[in-house]
Amino acid sequence: MEIKKDAQVGENGAPTPEQLAAINVQARAKLTADQVYVFALRLCDDQVDRDLERFDTQALPELARLFLGKTGIVDHRWSSDAQVARIFATQVVQEDSVHYIKAWAYIRRGEQTREVISDIEAGIKKEVSVGCAMGKRVCSICGGEYGACGHQKGERYDGALCCVILREPLDAYEFSFVAVPAQCEAGVLKGMGPGRKSLKALAEEFGAQGEYRALLSLAQLGKQYQKALEDSVVRLCLTLELGAEEPVLRSILSRAAPEDLQKLKTALEARAAEVLPLAPQLPAPGRKNPVVESGFLI
């Protein structure tokens, strides 16, 4: 991708026919112009950030390419319903001596995205952070691998500030709207590094798939335990006629920590034992069932 001057600052709103065509390359279902909201954002640049790191200018075009088709999420919640936007075009833009990746993203218009769109319109969700993996961290002083050369980022050597230059983009993951405005000049936060991998990918890389599977099955057991706890507490609440309906109880309890659920269950059981002495379900041995001759009752 060639590095270009910023020629077109896309207006937010309805897509142009060219933008719609690009969107439909990314979209699963064919979308029409009135179904999408388009906006432009600045993903990252080649300036030194708060971590005293910067993207190599030469790495930006490849990074821009990797961001194509990636999703934007709100507040780092990593679930599919939180993925609200998708990047359909990127470009490296030069402004004075600064190069940055400009991206265009779309959001499907609908009830669930109305708030996000109006926040973007109002400029509230202007700041984004990006996640990506870079293959190389290079020292700005000597050009060697950072960490192996002995130079420290933040220190000055003959007047030159040492920082880490990030090279060789490997992957781009997502961008996130952040509620708190970024502090750095670019207005872009960056959460990156080769460490940004899934646990599963790490397990595969280091041959720890067995441990990963064992942990996963333990986690599933934990989930089952939590669900069973929740069910018991709901049953106890309903039995004790505390007044709340089951959906309300479930909504509250689904957010409770397991240890709190356990404490609540113990307390409710104690209460139930006080007010509802349990009648034996089966008649004691040697005792006859009382015969209710209801047919003769008047």
Using rule CB under 5 A, residue 141 touches Zn ion:
yes
Using rule CB under 5 A, residue 54 touches Zn ion:
no
Using rule CB under 5 A, residue 199 touches Zn ion:
no
User: 139-166 burial, b for 16+ CB within 10 Å, e for fewer?
Assistant: bbbeeeebeeeebebeeeeeeeebbbbb
Using rule CB under 5 A, residue 31 touches Zn ion:
no
Tell me which amino acid residue 31 is.
L
Determine whether 241 is exposed, middle or buried from the number of CB atoms within 10 Å of its CB (0-12, 13-18, 19+).
exposed
- Distance CA(177)–CA(193), nearest Å, equals 19
Q: Considering beta carbons, is residue 107 or 138 the nearer one to Zn ion?
A: 138
Q: Considering beta carbons, is residue 101 or 138 the nearer one to Zn ion?
A: 138
Tell me how far, at minimum, the Cβ of 159 lies from Zn ion, in Å.
15
Q: Considering beta carbons, is residue 157 or 206 the nearer one to Zn ion?
A: 157
Tell me how far, at minimum, the Cβ of 51 lies from Zn ion, in Å.
17
Using rule CB under 5 A, residue 142 touches Zn ion:
yes
Q: Considering beta carbons, is residue 36 or 134 the nearer one to Zn ion?
A: 134
Tell me how far, at minimum, the Cβ of 49 lies from Zn ion, in Å.
19
Using rule CB under 5 A, residue 139 touches Zn ion:
yes
Determine whether 29 is exposed, middle or buried from the number of CB atoms within 10 Å of its CB (0-12, 13-18, 19+).
exposed
Choosing from 149, 208, 234, 256, the residue that interacts with Zn ion (CB under 5 A) is 149
Tell me how far, at minimum, the Cβ of 73 lies from Zn ion, in Å.
36
Tell me how far, at minimum, the Cβ of 34 lies from Zn ion, in Å.
54
| Binding range to Zn ion, per CB under 5 A, among 23-31, 70-78, 118-126, 144-152 | 144-152
Q: Considering beta carbons, is residue 147 or 222 the nearer one to Zn ion?
A: 147
Distances (CA, A) of 193 to 88, 160, 236: 24, 24, 48
Tell me how far, at minimum, the Cβ of 40 lies from Zn ion, in Å.
37
Cβ atoms of 99 and 46 closer than 8 Å: yes
List beta partners, residue 129.
176, 189
In the chain, the N- to C-terminal Cα span, in Å, equals 93
- Distance CA(38)–CA(107), nearest Å, equals 7
Using rule CB under 5 A, residue 161 touches Zn ion:
no
Tell me how far, at minimum, the Cβ of 139 lies from Zn ion, in Å.
3
Using rule CB under 5 A, residue 151 touches Zn ion:
yes
- Distance CA(230)–CA(11), nearest Å, equals 49
Give the binding site for Zn ion (CB under 5 A). 139, 141-142, 144, 149, 151
